Amino acid sequence: MRCALPRLLLQLTLPEIPRIFAMFVMNDNSDSQILSSTELETIAAWVMLAETLGIPRSYAQIYGLCFISPRPVTAVDCVEKLKMSRSSVGQGLKVLRELGAIRPQFALGSRSESFAIEPDLGVLLQSVLGGKIAPAFQQFFERMEAIENSQKSDLEGFPRARIEKLRRWRKKLSRLEKLIGR
């Protein structure tokens, strides 16, 4: 019997977790690894943050495990502890690595690739902003500028005010990029 506790707990609110965790008893013949209540609550907190930001919960579960783990985490660790499929874990690790949220760690004597969080918030923000957000906004601003240039006669009143708002957003984003060193 596979342990469904992590999935169940990640669907609950934080105050419910310790009560449910305390009631749960593993089968003696289970090969599943259990997460501590601290690990579960930490992962649940990352999931709640991710849901607020529109990030898939599986990515948050993986990141949460990497965050709370005292040693680098392998894909097998994620599969076993989070009860996720290998493909979901592989995809999550790939995306988190591309975002700069995690980085590979060398583990002496291990053939498995291990991962740890990027400990520097500035580096993480720079990576996320520079890698995904800033280029997407740059394309958006360029497109809006092209619309403005081609539709000058239609851009009076309210549309003009919106275009001006986009210019202010562009300046603010530029300042944010400079602030984090992009």
| Digit-coded pLDDT (tens) for 60-101 | 999 999 999 999 999 999 999 999 999 999 999 999 999 889
Q: Which band of pLDDT confidence, cut at 50, 70 and 90, is reported for residue 173?
A: confident
CA distances from residue 2 to 12, 31, 65, 82, 127 in whole angstroms, order as listed: 19, 8, 19, 11, 37
Given a cut of 70, is residue 31 above it in pLDDT?
no
Q: For position 68, what pLDDT does the model report?
A: 95
Given a cut of 60, is residue 15 above it in pLDDT?
no
The domain segmentation of the chain, as residue ranges, is 5-117, 121-179
Q: Report yes or no on whether pTM surpasses 0.75.
A: no
The hierarchical CATH code for the domain 5-117 is 1.10.10.10
